Each structure stands twice: as structure tokens, then as C-alpha cells.
Amino acid sequence: MSEKRKKDIQRIKELESINLATDDIRELVVQTKIKVEKDNELLARKNNEELREHKIKSVDIVGAIGAGKTALIEKIVEILSEKYRILVICGDITTRVDADRIQAHNAESIQINTGRECALNAYHIHKIIENKDLDDYDLLFIENVGNLICPSEFTLGTDTRITVVSTTEGEWVIEKHPMLFKMSQVAVINKIDLAERLGTNIPKMLKDAKDINPDIKIITTSAKTGKNVNKLIEILEL
């Protein structure tokens, strides 16, 4: 990550801390957050080391509810399940709907229910890695809880992070949520099949993503029709 991007992220974190709570407990809140993030960062690094030791490629997918994260993973797994032994971890507040959908496509899937937490953290992933024989897998996908904000606080230890938005979220969605785009290697604009009907300004979205993170790779897809899913797999070098 470039120095400029690191500084941007730092500035956003400082801005945030001003309004976290009333004067009485602000310092406690800020210090706790710093500890949690540091703790998470260490564990994420450990996760990544373990996955690499076992030659497992890893990708995590973040995005709002309804962006099409599960549908994209379904399509990807359908294509890659002959080539790789795949494990998919799905995060959700409750239910195991997503894991069941993916299981139907020849990949093992594990559901994590977070209760009320708004994102997966490295600790969730660590506990699963510890209890699995990693020699049984070549590829790990993690689908985060549907949320375009909180996952920016926690890296998980994957090689690549994909942020997915959809045309139904409107053309402001990327400009409004810079953090995840700063932290991701790949941006997906999904539901491109609905763009015309909705009148979504796709060029603006592409431009915003590049403005926020010049290194990010961007692709438009339709998980429904399958459009560009193969290209996404190419970008991921899978």
C-alpha cells in the first residue's frame, strides 16, 4: 500500500474518533478500538502465513446486502470446483442460507453467525483454520457479512480482497464508501444487466474507484447471467 493511501486511512480514522462517544468515555473507546485493530492485524497475518504454508489461495468478498456476493461465489465455484478443492466461509448475522446455496455447487461451506456483529474478523477465520485439515483444500473464499462499511476495520488474512457493489445501489455508492476500495485489490460492479433500466451511471462508478485507488482492478459483471465471471476469475489469477 502506498504511503499516501496509508496516510489517507489514518486521517479517516482520526476524524472518526472525534465523534465516537461523549467526552467521558471517548478515550476508552478510542484506545479499545486501537487494541482491537492491532490484535486483529496480528491474527490476520498469522492466518495468511498458515494458508500460504498449505499452498491455499485465498480471497475475501465484501459488499452490502444484495450486492450479489453469494451469487458471484456460486458462479465462480461452479467453474472452479473441478480444478480446485474449495472451502467457502460465509458470514452472516443469522441463518445459513448463503452456505447452503454454495454447498449445492460442490464446495464445502461453513457458516459463521455473528449475532449482531457487522463484519467478520481475523479471529473468526482463525478459529476455523485451526479446526480444519488445511491439506484438504487449494482455495478459500470468504464471504463477509453484508455490509459496505465495517469490513474495512478488519482484514482477515486473505491474499486478495474483492469489494462488490451493484448497479441497484446507485452511482454514488463508491464515492460514498472509499475505505473498502482503498483496501481492496479488485472492485466488482455487479447486476450490470439492470444498469440500463435503472439508469445507473457506470462510467462515474469506474472513475470513482480509480480515483480512490489507482491500483484497483475493476470489472462489471452479472452474476445472474454469468457475464464476465470468467474474466473475474482471470483477474484473480485462479
Binding residues for a second copy, rule: CB under 8 A, are 12-13, 15-16, 18-22, 24-25, 28-29, 32, 35-36, 39-40, 43, 64-66, 92-95, 97, 113-118, 121, 123-124, 145-150, 152-153, 166, 168-170, 172-173, 175-179, 191, 197
Amino acid letter at 28? L
Output 70 or 228, the one with its CB closest to a second copy. Answer: 70
Min dist CB 116 to a second copy, Å, is: 4
From CA 16, how far away is CA 10, in angstroms rounded?
Answer: 10
CB of 197 to a second copy, least distance (A): 8
User: To the nearest whole angstrom, how small is the minimum distance from the Cβ of residue 83 to a second copy?
Assistant: 29
DSSP 129-161: HHTS-GGG-SEEEEE--SBSSGGGG---S-SEE
Torsion over CA of 92, 143, 229 and 157, rounded to 10 degrees? Answer: 170
- The helix/strand/coil state of 50 is helix
Q: Minimum Å distance from CB 148 to a second copy?
A: 6
Nearest distance from residue 92's CB to a second copy, in Å? Answer: 6
CA gyration radius for the chain?
18
Tell me 75's DSSP state.
Answer: H
- 50 or 138: whose CB is closer to a second copy? 50
Q: Which is nearer to a second copy, 119 or 139 (CB)?
A: 119
User: Strand ranges (DSSP E) for the chain?
Assistant: 57-63, 86-92, 108-113, 139-143, 160-166, 186-190, 217-220
Cell of 191: 447486476
Pick the closer one to a second copy by CB: 188 or 236: 188
Q: Which is nearer to a second copy, 172 or 231 (CB)?
A: 172
